[in-house]
């Protein structure tokens, strides 16, 4: 009986598959009332999938969900909301065409009848005042007109507003990703007050310091499983990093890594971010691997896209001297052609080389695909199969094959290892270093610090600008976090 009262939610043996990808592999997870649970793990470890289950937006393929000790067979978003469980999703869920007050109304079925607009406006304004005292947002502002940071503030504040339904558990998935250090601090202080007053929170963050300082208990996930769960005081940064995995990879890279390349090779890319005010710029020479680091969404992708666009049309501030190819990180929206076979997906970047006369030669296309199947190890019986017959990691390999099989001398990588298993990663790292040794230039944006070990130089980004330039030997996670956050580590 005691457990039934204190456990807000409990999942037993939760499982979820997406096609060939096993996102969750029998996970046990629970949250007690009045605690803040920190959830950490690399991209693709299954954190988001697990949280979608807690919020009711995804149904598990196997396992049980119980809320306050009662088994829930028909668990859904509506049910979760009724039971006082809410989620602030990583991707923004405001309606850009509606005002802040109207967006608040969407989450509160009880806000109806005469005067609902005034009530909604008062509700959200009071919560914004409480969490972010100097927010400067009006309830009449249209969501689409706000900056991304302010939208995130609204979204967090909205999750903590209460009308008819209770509020017991709030899931915060990377809530500080678009906030500056000051507002991030305000939010985390509020989370601690909320937990102290008896509420519960799940805090997901890439900034391990945030989790270590604010969580009562930390759950570590890896490859769709929970690999450690303990009181926060039992962890320090090194233990967290070690448990999350990737340490072996790091050692392997460190031992294999060759000496720095000669500085005299020709300049391939010279680029300054549009918002850069000082003289800092990114210079990449033939054979170099340049890392773009910093928190997610701080202008790294924008710079890569600007360089990509500058290869075909002249742009001020960016100089590109060789053909460019891009490896997308968000496979579904930026990379994959869902109707096509694996070979067609690889061949699209090289169509003019695959031609015989006016027509594309099927033999040459197949030969290109077969070459990269062997070289990069794409695991499939037939390259003529649809691209979706591959697992996520192998789809990503096909995208690498598309770029590396082309005539591009410069390869841009937009955080391409999201949600990819460690084995694939090691294979691709090796290939990238091999290609760089042959003279190709790589610009590599990554959110995973240990990948930066592959790079010759690292540029750290903050608010659309380059704020620091690190050589390979100066690289530590602390240094990057320090630069990413300015003075607040």
Instruction: Look at residues 298, 293, 328, 305 and name the one whose alpha carbon lies nearest to residue 418.
Output: 328
Q: DSSP of 54-101, one letter per residue? A: HHTSS--SEEEEEETTEE-SS--HHHHHHTTEEEE-SS----TTSBHH
Contact status: 337 vs another protein (CB under 8 A): yes
Residue 17 DSSP SS3: strand
Q: What's the min distance (Å) between Cβ of 483 and another protein?
A: 28
Q: By the 8 A CB rule, do 203 and 39 touch?
A: yes
Spell out the alpha helix ranges (H) of 257-341. Answer: 300-310, 331-334
Contact status: 40 vs another protein (CB under 8 A): no
CA-based angle 206:480:176, to the nearest 5?
A: 35
Which residue is associated with the tokens 């009880």? 110
How many Å is the Cα radius of gyration of the chain? 24
Spatial CB neighbours of 480, under 8 Å, sequence gap ≥ 6:
293, 294, 449, 452, 458, 460, 470
Nearer to another protein, 111 or 128 (CB): 111
Contact status: 124 vs another protein (CB under 8 A): no
Contact status: 113 vs another protein (CB under 8 A): yes
Q: What's the min distance (Å) between Cβ of 58 and another protein?
A: 11
Contact status: 340 vs another protein (CB under 8 A): yes
Task: Measure the CA dihedral 207/26/248/216, to 10°.
Answer: 30
Q: What's the min distance (Å) between Cβ of 162 and another protein?
A: 15
Which residue is associated with the tokens 């050589």? 471
Contact status: 109 vs another protein (CB under 8 A): yes
**Exactly one of 4, 13, 97, 476 binds another protein (CB under 8 A); which one?**
97
Nearer to another protein, 271 or 346 (CB): 346
Looking at 130-138, 175-183, 190-198, 341-349, which segment touches another protein (CB under 8 A)? 341-349
Nearer to another protein, 52 or 298 (CB): 52
Cα–Cα distance between 344 and 346 in angstroms, integer? 5
Q: What's the min distance (Å) between Cβ of 60 and another protein?
A: 17
Contact status: 426 vs another protein (CB under 8 A): no
CA-based angle 178:421:251, to the nearest 5?
A: 90
Looking at 27-35, 71-79, 270-278, 465-473, which segment touches another protein (CB under 8 A)? 71-79
Looking at 194-202, 320-328, 456-464, 481-489, which segment touches another protein (CB under 8 A)? 320-328
Instruction: Look at residues 403, 37, 444, 54 and name the one whose alpha carbon lies nearest to residue 202.
Output: 37
Which residues does residue 356 pair with via DSSP β-bridges, in sequence order? 359
Contact status: 411 vs another protein (CB under 8 A): no
Nearer to another protein, 312 or 385 (CB): 312
Contact status: 95 vs another protein (CB under 8 A): yes
**Exactly one of 4, 20, 71, 78 binds another protein (CB under 8 A); which one?**
78
How many residues touch another protein under the rule CB under 8 A: the total is: 49
Label residue 81 exposed, middle or buried (CB < 10 Å: 0-12, 13-18, 19+). Answer: buried
Q: What is the DSSP letter of 165?
A: S
Which residue is associated with the tokens 């995973």? 448
Q: What's the min distance (Å) between Cβ of 144 and another protein?
A: 8
**Exactly one of 5, 147, 339, 385 binds another protein (CB under 8 A); which one?**
339
Contact status: 336 vs another protein (CB under 8 A): yes
Contact status: 328 vs another protein (CB under 8 A): yes
Looking at 179-187, 241-249, 324-332, 448-456, which segment touches another protein (CB under 8 A)? 324-332
Cα–Cα distance between 477 and 451 in angstroms, integer? 11
Contact status: 168 vs another protein (CB under 8 A): no
Contact status: 321 vs another protein (CB under 8 A): no
Cα–Cα distance between 459 and 442 in angstroms, integer? 13
Nearer to another protein, 190 or 340 (CB): 340
Cα–Cα distance between 455 and 258 in angstroms, integer? 11
Cα–Cα distance between 373 and 390 in angstroms, integer? 12
**Exactly one of 98, 181, 242, 384 binds another protein (CB under 8 A); which one?**
98
**Exactly one of 5, 112, 138, 213 binds another protein (CB under 8 A); which one?**
112
Contact status: 360 vs another protein (CB under 8 A): yes
Residues at the interface with another protein (CB under 8 A): 55, 57, 76-78, 81, 87, 89, 93-98, 102-103, 105-107, 109, 111-113, 116-117, 308, 312, 325-326, 328, 333-340, 344, 348-349, 351-352, 355, 358-360, 402, 406
């Amino acid at each position: 009986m005691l457990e039934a009262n204190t456990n807000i939610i409990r999942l037993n043996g939760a499982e979820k598959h997406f096609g060939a990808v096993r996102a969750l592999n029998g996970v046990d997870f629970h949250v007690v009332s009045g605690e803040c649970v920190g959830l950490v793990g690399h991209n693709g470890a299954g954190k988001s999938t697990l949280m979608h289950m807690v919020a009711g937006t995804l149904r598990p393929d196997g396992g049980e969900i119980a809320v306050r000790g009662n088994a829930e067979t028909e668990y859904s978003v509506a049910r979760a909301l009724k039971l006082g469980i809410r989620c602030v999703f990583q991707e923004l869920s405001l309606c850009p065409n509606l005002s802040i007050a109207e967006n608040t109304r969407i989450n509160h079925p009880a806000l109806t009848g005469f005067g609902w607009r005034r009530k909604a406006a008062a509700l959200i304004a009071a919560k914004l005042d409480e969490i972010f005292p100097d927010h400067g947002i009006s309830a009449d502002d249209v969501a689409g007109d706000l900056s991304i940071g302010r939208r995130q503030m609204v979204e967090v504040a909205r999750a903590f507003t209460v009308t008819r339904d209770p509020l017991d558990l709030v899931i915060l998935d990377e809530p500080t990703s678009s906030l500056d250090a000051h507002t991030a601090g305000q939010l985390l202080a509020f989370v601690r007050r909320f937990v102290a007053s008896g509420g519960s929170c799940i805090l997901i963050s890439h900034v391990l310091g945030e989790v270590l300082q604010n969580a009562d208990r930390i759950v570590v996930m890896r490859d769709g499983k929970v690999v450690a769960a303990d009181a926060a005081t039992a962890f320090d940064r090194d233990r967290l990093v070690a448990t999350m995995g990737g340490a072996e990879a790091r050692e392997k890279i460190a031992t294999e890594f060759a000496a720095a390349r000669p500085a005299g090779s020709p300049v391939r890319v010279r680029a300054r971010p549009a918002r850069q005010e000082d003289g800092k710029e990114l210079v990449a020479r033939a054979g170099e691997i340049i890392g773009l680091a910093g928190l997610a969404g701080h202008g790294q992708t924008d710079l890569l896209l600007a360089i990509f666009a500058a290869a075909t049309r002249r742009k001020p501030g960016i100089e590109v001297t060789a053909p460019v190819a891009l490896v997308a990180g968000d496979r579904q929206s930026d990379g994959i052609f869902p109707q096509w076979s694996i070979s067609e997906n690889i061949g699209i970047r090289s169509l003019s080389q695959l031609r015989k006369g006016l027509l594309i030669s099927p033999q040459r296309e197949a030969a290109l695909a077969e070459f990269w199947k062997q070289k990069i190890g794409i695991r499939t019986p037939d390259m003529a199969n649809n691209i979706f017959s591959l697992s996520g990691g192998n789809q990503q390999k096909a995208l690498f094959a598309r770029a590396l099989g082309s005539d591009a001398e410069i390869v841009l990588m937009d955080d391409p290892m999201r949600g990819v298993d460690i084995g694939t990663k090691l294979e691709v790292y090796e290939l990238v270093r091999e290609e760089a040794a042959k003279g190709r230039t790589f610009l590599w944006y990554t959110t995973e610090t240990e990948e930066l070990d592959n790079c010759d130089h690292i540029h750290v980004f903050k608010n659309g600008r380059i704020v620091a330039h690190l050589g390979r030997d100066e690289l530590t996670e602390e240094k990057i976090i320090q630069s990413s956050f300015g003075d607040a580590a």
